[in-house]
Amino acid sequence: MSEIDYPLLAAQTGKFRRGAPRNFKLSAQAHSLAFLRSKDGYSSKLDLWIVSHLDAVPEETLLIDTEALVFDDAAMSEKEKARRERLREAGSGITQFSANKDLSIFVFALSGALFIWQSGKVRQLGQWSAVVDPQLDPKGEFVAFTSGQDFVVSDVAGNEIAKLPSQSETEFFGLADFIASEELSRFRGHWWSPDGNSLLVQKTDESPVANRWISDPTSPELPARLHRYPQAGTNNADLELLLLDLHTKAVKSVWKSTQEIPYLPSVGFSAKSGWFTTLNRTQQRLELFKIVEGNPVCVHTEEDSAWIDCGNGMPQLCLADVVVTSKVSAKREVFIDGQKIEFDDGHIQDILAVTNEGVTFSAYTKPWNLVIFQKTSELVALSDRDGYASGVIDGEYSLIAQSTADSSPRFLVKRAGDTVYEVASNALVAELQVKVEFHEVTSRALPVAILWPEHSVTAGPLPILVNIYGGPHHSEVVAARQTFYDDQWLANQGFCVVVIDNAGTPGKGPAWEREVFHDFSNVILNDQVNALQEICERFSDRVDATRVGIAGWSFGGYLSALAVLDRPDVYKAAWAGAPVTDWKLYDTAYTERYLSHPDTYPDVYVENSLIERAHKLSRPLTLVHGLADDNVLAAHSLQLSRALLAHGKAHNFLPLAGVSHMTPQEDITKNLMVLMLQFFQDHLATNKI
């Protein structure tokens, strides 16, 4: 692979993610593991595989070959397209599946139709259309799914057992609402009880939500698409949690949202009871409810003066109604039925599983090392302590997906902590010698990754390119080699590439994360500038502090534009992809979590707006935005461009027709990389800036 071929290869391989196994489902009962994987590193078509006999001699088998199925992704429903966008799903074929407890029956949706694999054969189940998120009950007798906007339960022979019909165009059943899936890490909208006799089902009514219209300017003959978008300060969707009894067909309302308590972060079943959590509008009060005889009973309450974290397995009800809770102090303290988990090696991030023998969780031991631990009578690390890992747990088995800074991802099946099988990956490995250095800089110990060219490309000091995200609850400085492929390629073109995690990012404790409360613009940019200045001092003979560019997407796009607006003395050029430019235009849950309600704190929104800074631009700035983006609406870049023009500020604007927030198109991926490189080569090539 030549350097010039890298952008094309990165695009063709989905940034080298295609071909890797994913969507793992373990069955300790059957000693088996099911997963999805494409046949090679170029294909996005995912096949269904199973590894059986994990307790003896493991055997890997292809269950469903997607090539043998007839499907058309163009026939996807709008609900399915939206679900995939929220999941950042770029695959095709079988992108999701559900199975019974012993992995003997599988269901999935393809081109809006429902399919089942049973007794070695695949068949279409019924004639329902626009099927989304089918879920098999644990015993394998029934399958529940959304069809259009209705919720349906069928038996595995294809007979309809129960139905919750939608009564209006704004009402739908069985799917997560926009805010839950985009901002609360909940992607499901219905949940089976362990015995398969009942379900909890979400009902959503979007009629209170503001209408936004997304059009394709390249096809003016086509109508604009309606997108109900809960913009900061406006109404959220109305939610209701229903309990459906399959035997009696009775439907009972368990909970209804209000505009004061609009969020349903998590729902599930313990071995004995249904449960759910609710979150108020300020996200400073969370309640855990247990469902007793169809009625909700509050069993735990959490409060925080900034915000409550969601999507980390805390709180929840598990086993025989064991309550898992957490408390924010210097660290996040975690309690299993009131008993604190004693852990001194770092910061607990997620609870992965709780059994009668102990608990499995992920924790940051360094800001760039996320390790899977299992604590029973003793503490055992299930993943590499110098790596970055995720895990799926069932009984004595675990599937550990782990990377290190020096190696590609590995997918290890472990039994009682010992590796019994490694699932092969078909993903291509970039022919780059990733030379990433990890540092902690300034008195605040800011996590930094630095990448140098593989080979000497210039006799003098290198210009610096800062690759930034910087937003809350997401790290870029992680011990995962594949994360830095693009950075290494850019470094090889004659740059020192720097990645900095600032206040608000995970890995350094709750107080660190909450430093960005009401302040995105000052705290974060100060961290970035101070870290960069120390890097320039440490490596003064190798880098040129007068030639610094910055690039990012989404929150990183916001920070890139902010950098050249507020600190043109430091940053000499910026590439801002899909930036949030006015936080009043972004969604309720994310924005109000950090900046509070715009009516209550209007000055906070002004202080963090890029529109208010448009008059300050004095450096080269390129804005890039997908016109079909339903997350960060294209209005963000368009309004900033209008404000810049009003002040006579020259800038570039690159609109991407038909492109959403995740830019999955191969030609877009390739050419954006090339154009960004050319932009920085033009503007950082000499000291005359």
pLDDT, tens digit, 9 for 90 and up, residues 105-142: 999 999 899 999 999 999 999 999 999 999 999 999 99
Section 532-544 average pLDDT = 97
Confidence of residue 459 (pLDDT cuts 50, 70, 90): low
Q: In 3D, which of 365, 370, 562 has the Cα closest to residue 466?
A: 562
**Among residues of the chain, what percentage have pLDDT more than 90?**
92
C-alpha–C-alpha distance, residues 157 and 332, integer Å: 48
Confidence of residue 688 (pLDDT cuts 50, 70, 90): very low
Q: How far is CA 504 from CA 86, 447, 519, 606, in A?
A: 22, 12, 10, 20
Structural domains of the chain, with CATH: 436-684 (3.40.50.1820)
What local confidence, expressed as pLDDT, does residue 456 receive?
A: 74
DSSP secondary structure letter of residue 383: S
Q: Which secondary structure element, helix H or strand E, spans residue 490, and what is its range?
A: helix 485-492
Residue 497 · residue 491 · CB < 8 Å: yes
What local confidence, expressed as pLDDT, does residue 86 receive?
A: 74
Q: Looking up tokens 């025989």, which residue turns up?
A: 320
What local confidence, expressed as pLDDT, does residue 686 receive?
A: 54
Long-range contacts of residues 538-544, Cβ cutoff 8 Å, at least 24 apart: 538/441, 539/450, 539/496, 540/461, 541/461, 542/452, 542/461, 542/462, 542/496, 543/461, 543/462, 543/463, 543/464, 543/496, 544/460, 544/461, 544/462, 544/463, 544/464, 544/687
Give the pTM.
0.95
What local confidence, expressed as pLDDT, does residue 248 receive?
A: 96
With a cut of 80, say whether residue 611 has pLDDT above it.
yes
Amino acid letter for position 194? P
Token pair of 524 as six digits: 């974060």
DSSP secondary structure letter of residue 293: T
What local confidence, expressed as pLDDT, does residue 677 receive?
A: 97
Q: In 3D, which of 502, 359, 369 has the Cα closest to residue 441?
A: 502
Token pair of 580 as six digits: 């949030």
C-alpha–C-alpha distance, residues 42 and 277, integer Å: 41
Token pair of 43 as six digits: 């294909």
Task: Write the pLDDT tens digit of every residue in 132-188.
Answer: 999 999 999 999 999 999 999 999 999 999 999 999 999 999 999 999 999 999 999
What residues have CB less than 8 Å from 171, skipping those under 6 apart? 149, 203, 204, 205, 206, 207
Q: Which secondary structure element, helix H or strand E, spans residue 611, and what is its range?
A: none
**Among residues of the chain, what percentage have pLDDT more than 70?**
97
Section 556-585 average pLDDT = 98
With a cut of 80, say whether residue 89 has pLDDT above it.
no
Pairing mode, if any, of strands 446-451 and 436-441?
antiparallel
Token pair of 575 as six digits: 């590439």
**In whole numbers, what is the pLDDT of the chain averaged over residues?**
95
What local confidence, expressed as pLDDT, does residue 401 receive?
A: 98
With a cut of 80, say whether residue 76 has pLDDT above it.
no
C-alpha–C-alpha distance, residues 263 and 479, integer Å: 34
With a cut of 50, say whether residue 676 has pLDDT above it.
yes
Section 44-68 average pLDDT = 96
Least confident range from 1-10, 323-332, 460-469: namely 1-10
Section 453-473 average pLDDT = 90
Token pair of 180 as six digits: 């839950």
Confidence of residue 687 (pLDDT cuts 50, 70, 90): very low
Question: How many Cβ atoms sit within 10 Å of the Cβ of residue 558?
Answer: 32
- 261, burial (CB in 10 Å: exposed 0-12, middle 13-18, buried 19+): middle
With a cut of 80, say whether residue 457 has pLDDT above it.
no
Confidence of residue 75 (pLDDT cuts 50, 70, 90): low
